[in-house]
Amino acid sequence: MGVSELEIRVRYAETDQMGVAHHASYLVWFEAARTELIRECGRSYADIEAGGWLLVVVEAHCRYRQPARYDEVLVIRTRVREVRAATLTFAYEVLRKGDGEVLADGHTVHAAVDRGGRARRIPEEISGLLVPAVPEA
Amino acid sequence: MGVSELEIRVRYAETDQMGVAHHASYLVWFEAARTELIRECGRSYADIEAGGWLLVVVEAHCRYRQPARYDEVLVIRTRVREVRAATLTFAYEVLRKGDGEVLADGHTVHAAVDRGGRARRIPEEISGLLVPAVPEA
Amino acid sequence: MGVSELEIRVRYAETDQMGVAHHASYLVWFEAARTELIRECGRSYADIEAGGWLLVVVEAHCRYRQPARYDEVLVIRTRVREVRAATLTFAYEVLRKGDGEVLADGHTVHAAVDRGGRARRIPEEISGLLVPAVPEA
Amino acid sequence: MGVSELEIRVRYAETDQMGVAHHASYLVWFEAARTELIRECGRSYADIEAGGWLLVVVEAHCRYRQPARYDEVLVIRTRVREVRAATLTFAYEVLRKGDGEVLADGHTVHAAVDRGGRARRIPEEISGLLVPAVPEA
């Protein structure tokens, strides 16, 4: 519960002239993985937005340990790290599927914004879904 | 009138592992250049959208002749090619600023969609702005 | 043979403020789908590049019929359309998985470039893999 | 010295369906701004790469305070924050040009990698260029 794994394959367009995946791609993968985690918690993020709530990113952080390469299959392991009154934090690890090596890790912090664009306390309908998960040892 | 030039510098993130700008980047540059052309015609596209009209892309085409490289300055030369009842066509040339070489050319076709998401005839407030320009000899 | 289907899920980062997938994303999906088609033909594109050949995009075209939306699952149906002495053409259809509706179609034309950056005839090791497929009726 | 400002205009492709610039775009802007800072320090990053050194991103961080919107002109203010034996740190602020409001800030940490892909001490030819700058009060 509160942990999810998404497999993605590195796209050619995601590489840069260093011959590895560009560092901004990781934030896009984090987002795709977060979408899956939320879905597995019982409700799609698309549905949350349709219901009038946006989870805006207020902070993003990533450490890059080893490069990811074109056509490699990666696993984006995601968990809810913290649910506070005003913010939610997700934590991520990017692993190479072939050998399980951790290529990167990071986190994003989110605030809830209502239809009128105002920051609000995280509503119960969201915080009730997203139970923080302890990382595996 | 109806012709515009936008300079852009190729970003590192826009390159791929071939060491050149990725081909999808050209559509993004075309769009940025179209934004400037519309602004020079007297009204910003942001304002057109705020007024309730979207110009959706219904077709895009690009021919790639020479690669664009990281940090090169390019000129995106854009013109209104055709204004019809239901569609607008913009034409583009991508030139290397240093030597004027044409690296790519293309076009995009757009339809007008109203606030309700329905395709409509190009409204006079838009077609009146965008006068087709003959390409220079 | 010579036909492949890749499923992708529309990422949030791929949307724009119209609320639909940005039109440049389709070229990125075409590329990911082409990668899978080539793999299914018996050799990975990564391996082709490692062997010293690049298949550069010399032309791209897309017609957009219906918008693709965040979190929708799409099927990118790809086939080898033509193998000529100097160029390869791939054709694509983008379908919404839920109801099979065709959202877009397009094609890309590729030339073979050797390690020295020179355009060459399509080498037999590539043309032998990629047998043109007739579209289904 | 050691401080630079780059103006960029938010592209349509950089927005997402929230109607604001996607959070991954900021890392791309940081990179473009870093390119300009390095150039102003006396040598282009393209030239550094041609000379056999890569400055790979080992960490990236961004705090998002206010959204950036389509067609807004932003100023990316960049400075060298720290030069250590093994890492370089750049700091960034993203300001809305119109009113000077700070929309975001962040930093990236870089390591030097040689032609063989090995991490190395920051070479003198790079550390000599990039003198840390104190932020303005």
Q: What ipTM was estimated for this complex?
A: 0.95
Provide the token pair at A66: 């080893």
Residue B117: predicted pLDDT? 85
Chosen from A11, A26, A108, A110 to mutate, greatest number of chain C CBs within 10 A? A11
**Which positions in chain B touch A13 (Cβ < 8 Å)?**
16, 22, 24
**Which positions in chain C touch B18 (Cβ < 8 Å)?**
54, 56
Write out the residues of chain D at the interface with chain A, using a CB-CB cutoff of 8 A. 17-18, 23-25, 27-28, 31, 49, 54, 56-65, 67
Rounded to an integer, the average pLDDT of A91-112 is 98
Kindly identify which residue of chain D lies nearest to residue C16, measuring between CA atoms.
D16
Burial class for D42, CB neighbours closer than 10 Å (0-12, 13-18, 19+): exposed
Rounded to an integer, the average pLDDT of A49-56 is 95
Write the pLDDT tens digit of every residue in C58-78.
Answer: 999 999 999 999 999 999 999
Taking an 8 Å cut-off on Cβ atoms, the answer to whether D71 and B46 are in contact is yes
Write the pLDDT tens digit of every residue in D22-33.
Answer: 999 999 999 999
Kindly identify which residue of chain D lies nearest to residue C12, measuring between CA atoms.
D16
Taking an 8 Å cut-off on Cβ atoms, the answer to whether B16 and A20 are in contact is no
Q: What percent of chain A has pLDDT over 90?
A: 91
Q: Is the whole model's pTM more than 0.80, yes or no?
A: yes
Rounded to an integer, the average pLDDT of B80-91 is 96
Rounded to an integer, the average pLDDT of A104-120 is 94
Provide the token pair at B99: 């030597």
Of A18, A23, A58, which is closest to D60 when you measure between CB atoms?
A23
Q: How confident is the model at residue A33 (pLDDT cuts 50, 70, 90)?
A: very high
Contact C18, B56 (CB under 8 A): yes
Residues 6 or more apart from C78 whose CB is under 8 A from it?
A: C3, C4, C5, C6, C30, C33, C34, C36, C37, C90, C91, C92
Instruction: State the sign of the Cα–Cα–Cα–Cα dihedral A117, A121, A123, A126.
Output: positive
Q: How confident is the model at residue A136 (pLDDT cuts 50, 70, 90)?
A: low
Cα B115 from chain centroid? Answer: 23
Of B31, B59, B64, which is closest to C59 when you measure between CB atoms?
B64
Among the listed residues D65, D68, D76, the one whose alpha carbon sits nearest the alpha carbon of residue D30: D76
Q: How confident is the model at residue C1 (pLDDT cuts 50, 70, 90)?
A: low
Kindly identify which residue of chain B lies nearest to residue C29, measuring between CA atoms.
B24
Choose the weakest-confidence range: B10-14, B81-85, C115-119, D88-92: C115-119
Of A13, A45, A71, which is closest to C28 when you measure between CB atoms?
A13
Residue A52: predicted pLDDT? 94
Kindly identify which residue of chain A lies nearest to residue D107, measuring between CA atoms.
A61
Among the listed residues A16, D6, D133, A104, the one whose alpha carbon sits nearest the alpha carbon of residue B22: A16
Among the listed residues D103, D110, D102, D114, the one whose alpha carbon sits nearest the alpha carbon of residue D130: D110
Taking an 8 Å cut-off on Cβ atoms, the answer to whether D18 and A61 are in contact is no
Please tell me the distance from the alpha carbon of residue A121 to that of residue C56, in angstroms, as a whole number: 50
CA distance B62 to chain A (A): 17
Taking an 8 Å cut-off on Cβ atoms, the answer to whether C32 and A44 are in contact is no
Residues 6 or more apart from D126 whose CB is under 8 A from it?
A: D48, D53, D55, D88, D112
Kindly identify which residue of chain C lies nearest to residue A33, measuring between CA atoms.
C11
Taking an 8 Å cut-off on Cβ atoms, the answer to whether D12 and C13 are in contact is no
Interface A-B: count of C-beta contacts within 8 A: 28
Write the pLDDT tens digit of every residue in B32-75.
Answer: 999 999 999 999 999 999 999 999 999 999 999 999 999 999 99
Kindly identify which residue of chain C lies nearest to residue B110, measuring between CA atoms.
C64
Choose the weakest-confidence range: A36-40, B23-27, C25-29, C132-136: C132-136
Helix H, strand E, coil C: the string for D59-127 is EEEEEECCCCCCCCEEEEEEEEEEECCCEEEEEEEEEECCCCCEEEEEEEEEEEECCCCCEECCCHHHH
Residue B121: predicted pLDDT? 96
Q: How many CB atoms lie within 10 A of CB A30?
A: 27
Residue C137: predicted pLDDT? 54
Rounded to an integer, the average pLDDT of D99-116 is 96
Residue A1: predicted pLDDT? 65
Rounded to an integer, the average pLDDT of D82-111 is 97
Residue C133: predicted pLDDT? 85
Contact partners for chain D, using 3 or more CB pairs closer than 8 A, are A, B, C
Chosen from D26, D71, D73, D74 to mutate, greatest number of chain B CBs within 10 A? D71
Q: What percent of chain C has pLDDT over 90?
A: 91
Write out the residues of chain B at the interface with chain D, using a CB-CB cutoff of 8 A. 9, 11-13, 27-28, 31-32, 35, 44-46, 70-71
Taking an 8 Å cut-off on Cβ atoms, the answer to whether C64 and B64 are in contact is no
Q: What percent of chain D has pLDDT over 90?
A: 91
Rounded to an integer, the average pLDDT of A100-123 is 95
Which is catalytic among the residues D16, D47, D99, D114?
A: D16
SS3 A1: coil
Average pLDDT of chain A is: 95
Taking an 8 Å cut-off on Cβ atoms, the answer to whether C17 and D16 are in contact is yes
Q: How many CB atoms lie within 10 A of CB D19?
A: 16
Chosen from C11, C14, C15, C17 to mutate, greatest number of chain D CBs within 10 A? C17
Say how many residues make up chain B. 137
Q: Residue C120 pLDDT > 90, yes or no? A: yes
- Catalytic residues of B, by residue number, are 16
Residue D56: predicted pLDDT? 97
Taking an 8 Å cut-off on Cβ atoms, the answer to whether A19 and B20 are in contact is no
Q: Residue C132 pLDDT > 80, yes or no? A: yes
Write out the residues of chain A at the interface with chain D, using a CB-CB cutoff of 8 A. 17-18, 23-25, 27-28, 31, 49, 54, 56-65, 67
